[in-house]
Every structure is written in C-alpha cells, then in structure tokens.
Amino acid sequence: MNYLSIHAHFYQPPRENPFTGLIPQEVGAEPFHDWNERITFECYDPMAQLGNFDRMSFNIGPTLAAWLEQAYPVTYERILEADRLNLARNGVGNAIAQVYNHTILPLANRRDKLTQVRWGLADFRARFGREAAAMFLAECTVDLATLEALADCGLKFVILAEWQAAGRRVDITQPYLVRLPNGKSITAFFFNGALAWNLHNDQLGDPENFARYSLPLAIDRPKNSRKEDQFVLAASDGEYYGHHYKGRAHWLSQLLHTEAPKYGWQISYPGLYLRDHPPQEEILIAERTAWSCFHGLNRWEGRCQCEPLDFVAPTPPWKGPFRLALDNLAAELDCVYEEATAGLLADPWATRDRYSQVILRQLSPAEFTRREVGGVEASGTALLKVERLLEAQFMRQWMYTSCGFFFEDLSRIEPKNNIAYAARAIKYVKDATGQDLGPAFLRGLAGAVSWRTGQTGSQLYHQIMSQSV
C-alpha cells in the first residue's frame, strides 16, 4: 500500500502591540483590518469548510489558535473537530503540537527548550483534549539537544526535511529511529522536498495530474516491486493553501478527497502510520539544520546568503549583535528571577513551566502565584514581586520569536516587536525589584544597525517606548 500524508504548518506570529494587547490596522491586509483576518478568509476558513483538516496532518501555532478561538470560533471548532474525528475513527489524532513561541530551539538553552516544549504541550492539551504525540519545531530547526528535550517530555516523533538526515542517503518513504545521547530515542519522518515544492508551486496543473504524474515519482520502485508499504510525506506552510496561492484550498480538497484515492493512494498521517509501522532502521540527523534554509542556522543568528541580494550592505550584520543583546538580557532576567524568588519558590524553573496555566487563563496571575508560593509566609508585596517576575519571564520567551530574525532588516515590525517584548520584561523587573536592566540592554542593541534606515537597535528601542506611552 502507498500512503500519502500532507502536513501543513499553520502559524501566525503575535500581531498584537506588546504594550496595548491590540492588533493595529495592518497595511497591505486591506480590505481586512489585519493579516490574521485576511488569511482566515483566504485560507483557514476555506480549509476548515472543505474538510481538509480531516484528511491531513497539521499543527496550529498557539498564537494563531488563541486568536482564532476569539475571532473566528466556528472555524476554530471545525479545526479541533477534525482531530477528534480521526481520534474516534483510528484511535490516533492527526494534529500535533508546536513549540510555543516559535523559538529556534537549537539556539536556546536547555531550560528554555523545556519551557517552550512544555508550554506547547499544555496549549495542545487544553485545546485538543489529549496528549500530543509529536511537536512541530519552528522552521524544523534541529539538533540532538532539542530532540532530547522532546523525548524527555514524552514525545514520540518529529517531522524533518530530507536534507536534515546525515551520514547516508535517506529512504524518505519510511520512518527512522534516532538514538539520543541521553539514552532515549525518537522517531523521525523525513518529508519529500521535491514533492512539497510541487505541491505549492503556482504553475502546478490540476490535482488529477498531480496524483497521476507527480505522486508516482515519490515512490521507491524496488520497494514497490517487493510490495512493501511506503509512506510519502509532503510538508509546507499551511498558508500556501489559499493565501499565498489562490484557490489552492479547493485544489488540495480535490487531491485528498478524490484524486489521490482514485489512483490508489491511502490518505494517512504520521501518527497513524507509526502505529502500524514502527521504524526498522536507525539514522543520524544533521545538526543545526532547518527546513526553510540550506545554510544551517545562519538565517537566525548571522547573515545568510539566501536573503535578498540588497541585504549585502555597508552596515555590519545586525542579527548577531541583536541576538547577543537578547541573550545577555535573558541571562540578567534569569539571575534576577532566581535571586528574588529564593525562599519563595521551591523550584523557580518548574514554576515557570507551570505558568502555562496563567497563559491559558486556567488561573489568574494572583491565584497562580499564591499557589506556587504555597505554605511560605509571604506578604502581599512579596507575592506581587513574584507575579511581576513571572510576567517578565513570559515576555522574555516572546522576545525570541523566530520571525524577529528571519527577515532581512532590523527596522521591520518583527524585530521591533521582539525589542518591545524585551522592554516589557525590563519594566516588570524594575517594578518588582527596582533593578533597571535597560541601560545594559541598550548598549548591546547599539551594535545592531538597520541597513535600510541606519537606525540602531537602541534608537528603535527609544522609538518604541515613546510610541507606547
């Protein structure tokens, strides 16, 4: 049997102003108020109405899910129902979790890796009503330490691009076992890059031609002659289906519901296939790699050659100094958090991991803080201090959102939002302890320079702060 699985990664960064919590009107999204609304009209709602979520593997980012839940509850419920239908039908759901803040985990420390995974799992559990079996990594960026964090949190498999396998040519029609340094293991599914490219190529023909001519190219012919089962996986951003390419949601519906089955394909998804086909071989992964860039992690920590040519400018690369400024601030935030909560929190990092209960509005910040401090005799001032420091840790996670590093210039809205989250973390710490971490952060930001405007990160910081008043 030949099995076909289409995985779609549905995600939008937080569009709210970090200071007001409101989404401003966004240029280019017209006639809609903002890009979330426009993309919902073009993609998420048609995909849900057509039943595409029922027939594919997917993850939906926590920021997007939270927004849909409030703004488009019918669409949101249809997405959740798709997973429930598959769980009832097959005993295995087709949705998987996502790293909470879309953080590039190989660039994060061990504690941040675990917080991002645990927050993502808590969000998934609250929405889908079950435990996740897998987690979609931001940009599929991976290293062994990241896979260890996933395995330590009980996750069973991960989706990667075929070029993220190392050591030998990978057979992308089957899952593989990845042995980890901590003695655990995780299963890796490698998606077919050529098929994924064809899947959302705007010049592609009708879905029947795709099923008739493109899909057979993904099959391993010797395995086919031996009548061995094969699992063909294609993965892409979910927004391709209707937003980036008009009409593609209907195209996908025809492929999944009619044309692929007509040509003998069994529609499946990784969790279901893994249930009946455990990995028979082991493989190594190529460390510090991504699905969206062939140049390792340069895209998120330095200067990447696949960015626009006009990025080659006389100003120094900005991403390195920008990330270093954030890393230094994060270290200071962590130090203050540990020292100021000593004697109040038994394990401040376990408390931070459980802060997902506040994020998901299961507990108010005050209720959560009182419970975490527990039997310790603490004044109202001490409780408020812990509450503010936890809010600072929440903002600290937001300042690493991957889109702040993905694009070509510091002056874009995405890096500026990351700076704004850092500013909020600094404010919470100052409110809680009186310590001002701003001056040191500004000195670090001065080394990051926009090649478009000539503004430094510190100038953008002051601009952001003046507009937030």
For the chain, which residues make up each domain, given as ranges? Answer: 2-285, 302-468
pTM of structure: 0.95
Q: Taking the chain (469 residues) in consecutive chunks of 10 residues, what is each chunk's mean pLDDT? A: 96 87 90 95 97 97 96 98 98 98 97 98 98 97 98 98 90 96 97 83 76 90 91 94 89 96 97 97 95 85 68 70 97 98 95 98 96 82 95 97 91 94 97 97 96 93 85
CA distances 126 to 120, 130, 131, 349, 361, Å, are 10, 8, 9, 21, 10
Give the distance from CA 393 to its chain's centroid: 19
Instruction: Please name every residue paired with 305 in a beta bridge, in sequence order, or none if there are none.
Output: none
pLDDT given at position 304: 74
DSSP calls for 146-169: HHHHHHHTT--EEEEEGGGEESS-
Tokens of 428: 């919470």
CA angle in degrees (0–180, nearest 5) for 407-411-413: 70
Architecture of the domain delimited by 2-285: Alpha-Beta Barrel (3.20)
Whether 337 and 437 have beta carbons less than 8 Å apart is answered as: no
The H or E element containing residue 237 is strand 230-237
How confident is the model at residue 301, as a pLDDT?
87
The pLDDT assigned to 203 comes to: 58
Q: Specify the amino acid at residue 226.
A: R
Contacts of 367 (CB under 8 A, 6+ apart): none
**pLDDT reported for residue 307:** 66
Chain position carrying tokens 């120094």: 316
Which helix (DSSP H) or strand (DSSP E) does residue 289 occupy? Answer: none
- Residue 20 confidence (pLDDT): 85
